[in-house]
Every structure is written in C-alpha cells, then in structure tokens.
Amino acid sequence: MAALSPCDPCSYSRPDQCAVVHADLDIAVNFDKKIISGTVHITVEKKQAAVETILLDAKDLTISQVSDKDSGQELTFSLGEPTEIFGSKLEIKLPTGNGKKYTLSIKYATSPKCSALQWLRPEQTAGKRQPYLFSQCEAIHARSLFPCQDSPAVKFPYTAKVTAPREVTVLMSAVRLGSDPCAGDSASLETKFLQEVPIPSYLMAIVAGDIESRDIGPRSKVWSEKEFVEAAAYEFAETEDMLKAAEALVGPYVWKQYDLLVLPPSFPFGGMENPCLTFVTPTLLAGDRSLANVVAHEIAHSWTGNLVTNKTFEHFWLNEGFTKYLERLIVCKLNQTPGYHHFLANEGLVVLRNAVKTLNNGPYTCLVVDLKGVDPDDAFSSVPYEKGFTLLFYLETLLGGPVVFEKFLHSYIEKFTRQSINTQQWKDFLYSYFSDEKSQTALNTVDWDAWFNSQGMPPVIPDYDTTLARACTELREKWCAASDADLSQFSANDLASLSSIQIREFLSQLLEQEPLSVTKLEKMQELYDFNSVRNSEIRFRWLRLGLLGHWADAIPRAIEFVTEQGRMKFVRPLYRDMYAWEEARQPAINNFLAVKDEMHNTTASLVEKDLHLKEASS
C-alpha cells in the first residue's frame, strides 16, 4: 500500500497546502446512543494561494453539514471510500475569495463503534452508579472522534464546550474553565475548556464519569471514581517533586495544570500523556509507589512529545525514546541510590531483548519504521522506547557523560519547542550542537544507518553497571542451577532483603532463561507465595513464568488477570503465551470470545490477532 499523503503515510491531510490552526468544539455526550455529536469549528490557513480545498481525516463519522462560519455559506464536501485502518478522506471546498484564513463549521456525529472511545455501562464501573466514557486517540484514533488533520505534524490550540448529563464530570486535555447549567435543559451541564498551547490531534482527550478529585500538589489534582481517590493520592504523592525535577532538567512546565486521572481497569495503556491531564491505569495502584515511574514518564512527555513532537509516527522513537531517557533521569533525581540509573537502563535492555524476540527481529524492530499501509497499533512495541533510550545513553557516554548530555537535551527542547520534527532534523541539531572537533570525531564513529534502519538489537550495547541487580542475579542463578530433586537450599527468607523492583528484576531474569519446571514453580509458590502478590508488574511476570513452564495452575489465574484489567502490556503477552501452549489455548480463546464485547476496541482487536482469529495489517 502507498502512503496516504506525501506528508504522512497514515493521514490523508496535506498541511503543506492548507493547515488547521485552531479548533473549537461544541459537542454533547449521549450515553444512551453512545455517540458524541455537535459542531467543530476549525480555523484553517492556506499555505499555497492556488489551493481550493482542505483535506481532513474522518473515521466512522457522520458529517451532516459544512459551512463557512463567518458568512454562513454552505460548503460542499465529499467523504471518500473508507479503509478499515485509516478511515476516509474528507475533502471540503474552501469559501471563495482571496482570504488566507477561514473558519469552517462542521456538524457531525461519532459512531458507537468509534475506535477512540470506550463507553462503559454503570455496572462496568467501580461505583456502578453512572456510565463512563473515555478516549484514547494516540496514535490515529482522533479521526474517529472529530474530523481533523490527524497527523502529528499539525498542531493547533483548542477550546471546547461539552454538554453532558449533570451527574457526570467532564474533563479534557486542557484547562477546565468551569461548568454551567445548560440553557433549556436542566438535566445537563456544559463545561468549557481551553488549551492554549498548540497540540497534535492525538493529544485530544475527553473523559466523562462519576469522578472526584483531591489535591496532590500546587498544580495537581488526582481524579478518579471516589473508591480510588485516597489510594491514588497516596500512590502519586511524588508528582510535584517529579515536575520540579523535570523543570530543572528541561525548562518551565508550560501547560499550567498537571492532573492525573485514574481510569477504569480496561484502559489499554499504563499511561497516556494527555496535556493537563495524564491518564493512567489503575494497575499502578500498588500501594507502595513502586510503579510511579509511569507518572515520571507521562510528566516527561510534557516536553518530549507534547512540546517537541514526532512529525509522523514513523519517528515515534523521538517521542518515546527521549521520554524514557527523561523518565529515568527524573526517577533518579528522586531516588539517589548509587547505580540506580544503570539498574533501570539494564532492566530496559531486558525489555528490549524480549520485544525484539517477540517481533522475530522483523521490520518493526527498526528505530525508524515504515508505516505505509500499516496500522500504528500493530507496529507498537517497546522497541522505540528502549532502542531509542539505548541510542541516547550510548551518545551520552560518547559525548562526555550525563551533565553534558542533559544540557544538550535542554537545548533540543528549546530549539524545537512547539514544533514537529523527524529523525534527520534531530540528528542535524545534534551535529550542530556538538560542533567541536572532538565531538565531531566521536559522532562520526556512530553507525547511524544501523541505528536507524537495521532490524534486531542495536549495533552497540552499553556496558551497564549491574551491581544493584547482583542480589537478583545470584538468586536467579541458584534457582536455575538447582535440581528438582533437591530444592532445600531455598527459603521464604530469600526475598526478605529484596525491594519490589528487585523482585521484578529477579522474575524478569528468570523469563529470559529456559522455562522453569513445574516442581520449581510449585516450590517458589510454597516459599514466596507470588500468587498473593497484587503488584501488577510482579503478578504479570509470575503468570508468564507459570504459563511458559506449562504449570496448569497458572491458566485460571492468567485468565482472571487478563479479564479484570485491560492493560495491553499485560493482556497481550499473556494471551500469546496461552495461545502458544496447547493446554491453555482453548480456554484462552473461549474466555476472549466470552468477554470481548466488554473489552476496549483496540485491545480486543489486537488480542484477536494475537489469538490468530484475525490477520494483522501488512
């Protein structure tokens, strides 16, 4: 398949000809019909005088009318044949005249199968009182929420007015200006929002539900159903410290508010960096702040990703690799345990090896990927995160260490703030920043083509200091070397001095070895009782070890875990492991078919491919 446009393989838009420069949404949430409908007023700017139309992306949208906001004149439009992945091209004839800027009013409605939205019935929420709606637009689902130039190359500020039943609170990826009763409709409230900073369409977000908030810092609240507010406030209490640490590294936080929203369990990601309001999975609520690095990660996106944005999702590593790098710097500013940075980097390397293996060293293991005809959800993996991180860590070592490289990072943000860039632009800036002869010589030793375009593991792997992992490694080696006939050397005490993160490391290391015997798994359960651990990262790894070791006990527990929460990072590998083991395959498929209508659309459609019930794109 060819690229949809010369600007972006995944978008029909042509921002080089005519670009969206502002959006104003006036929409209503209808829980009964499971649709959002209303008008979006988009201001567009001609980039070429001869241009007569604007091209937008639209997916499963009903467009009922388009007009020129100023004159009221109706405008002709056409909606192209839809493709399953990318939706349709929406072409609108611009008002005649020799103006440069126009505001177009598009009356539209979403469809109940909108891929950006999940609609939950009251029974599917913790409180069971009200329905719940949330969005997830990254990478290319914004086009199913409103007609837009759904390419990260296009950035625009927005305002919004959202009408919804008065029992629910509405929030967006913007500053909330306030709520008012709706004229002529006492059952509804309208809430207004302002996002002054230009954002790409994938950062558009909305939530509506029976949620409450608690202050956790001078510019931060945590939002969730009331059942989780206390736990969430405790878990994410380090938020302000993290924001300050990030500001010290990369400059002022420009988004004014930094709130967190804890979603229902079906939220497909760990976190999503929606501006002013990070979305997070409830699987982070471990009770001991051990999973708060995800918050550091989403905070980091306030600079890497949300200020400096990948121009297309082929350069997604610029978003996620840089964010991983900044995340680990923030985490290490808060926790100054010597060697911690290397411990985390090494953990990332294990994640990378795992991802490369899962992807069979295939095309999605390149740092810069080819997305022509590809659904970015299919190409998603840990590779852009961890291969990107590895490249930055390697460059840090090559160019003079952390202090020097942190300064570069700050300049990079300043240089490209509020822009969208590709890999070449980043590389050009790197060369111009490190212009002294010694740095240039060092840079010229980098095999850029291999880093950007080769499949598999990176060409250079830094030598991480593994001191902090030593206790985990020793215990892992003991278990691997032991014979099933004599496991008496192990005791419940083995874990006494290990932190939650070290236990996770121990299990991760075991996952890289040959599967454990059922005898060993049973002994581990007897001594360490991992079945009772609620920490999602530990539970996930323990379940995988069980499935890979063909321990029948693990099947019902894995099924329980993939059903009670929908974070793809956990759900997909567990379903794949179950598929790969004959004894677990049918139970997994049966469970999936039974619950798929309750699942998030994206998760369901990817798991369907993992279980070979449907073909993947490309």
Chain residues binding Zn ion by CB under 5 A are: 320, 323
Active-site residue flag, 364: no
Number of residues that bind ligand BES (CB under 6 A): 16
Q: Least separation, in Å, of the C-beta of 301 and Zn ion?
A: 6
Active-site residue flag, 158: no
> 172 in the Ramachandran plot: left (φ > 0), alpha (ψ -120 to 50) or beta?
beta
Position 275 contacts ligand BES (CB under 6 A): no
CA distance 509 to 507: 5
Nearer Cβ to ligand BES (380/530): 380
Q: Which of 102, 364, 385, 412 is catalytic?
A: 385
Burial class (CB in 10 A: 0-12, 13-18, 19+), 257: middle
Nearer Cβ to ligand BES (67/304): 304
Interactions with ligand BES, residue window 314-343 (CB under 6 A): 320
Position 271 contacts ligand BES (CB under 6 A): yes
CA distance 172 to 134: 10
Interactions with ligand BES, residue window 353-412 (CB under 6 A): 380, 385
- 294 binds, options Zn ion, ligand BES, none, Cβ within 5 to 8 A by partner type: ligand BES
Position 301 contacts ligand BES (CB under 6 A): yes
Q: Least separation, in Å, of the C-beta of 598 and Zn ion?
A: 26
Strand partners, 579: none
Nearer Cβ to ligand BES (135/509): 135
The token pair at 202 is 């994938």
Nearer Cβ to ligand BES (9/270): 270
Position 298 contacts ligand BES (CB under 6 A): yes
CA distance 373 to 291: 35
The token pair at 18 is 């005519």
- 270 binds, options Zn ion, ligand BES, none, Cβ within 5 to 8 A by partner type: ligand BES
Q: Least separation, in Å, of the C-beta of 282 and ligand BES?
A: 13
CA distances from 500 to 206, 344, 357 (A): 34, 13, 26
Q: Which helix (H) or strand (E) holds 262?
A: strand 259-262
Position 573 contacts ligand BES (CB under 6 A): no
Contact 162, 27 (CB under 8 A): yes
CA distances from 81 to 109, 242, 557 (A): 18, 47, 44
CA distance 540 to 413: 35
Q: Least separation, in Å, of the C-beta of 347 and ligand BES?
A: 11
223: Cβ contacts below 8 Å, ≥ 6 apart? 169, 171, 211, 212, 213, 229, 259, 260, 261, 262, 277
Nearer Cβ to ligand BES (272/345): 272
Q: Give the binding range for ligand BES (CB under 6 A) out of 211-219, 228-236, 266-274, 386-394.
A: 266-274
Q: Which residue is nearest to ligand BES (CB)?
A: 270
341: Cβ contacts below 8 Å, ≥ 6 apart? 328, 329, 332
Q: Which of 298, 396, 537, 608 is catalytic?
A: 298
CA distance 69 to 106: 9
For ligand BES, which residue of 270, 282, 566, 573 counts as binding (CB under 6 A)? 270
CA distance 178 to 311: 33
- 269 binds, options ligand BES, Zn ion, none, Cβ within 5 to 8 A by partner type: ligand BES
Give me the torsion for CA of 262, 265, 266, 272, rounded to 10°: 30
Could you give the residue numbers annotated as active site?
298, 385
Q: Which residues bind ligand BES (CB under 6 A)?
A: 138-139, 269-273, 293-294, 297-298, 301, 320, 380, 385, 569
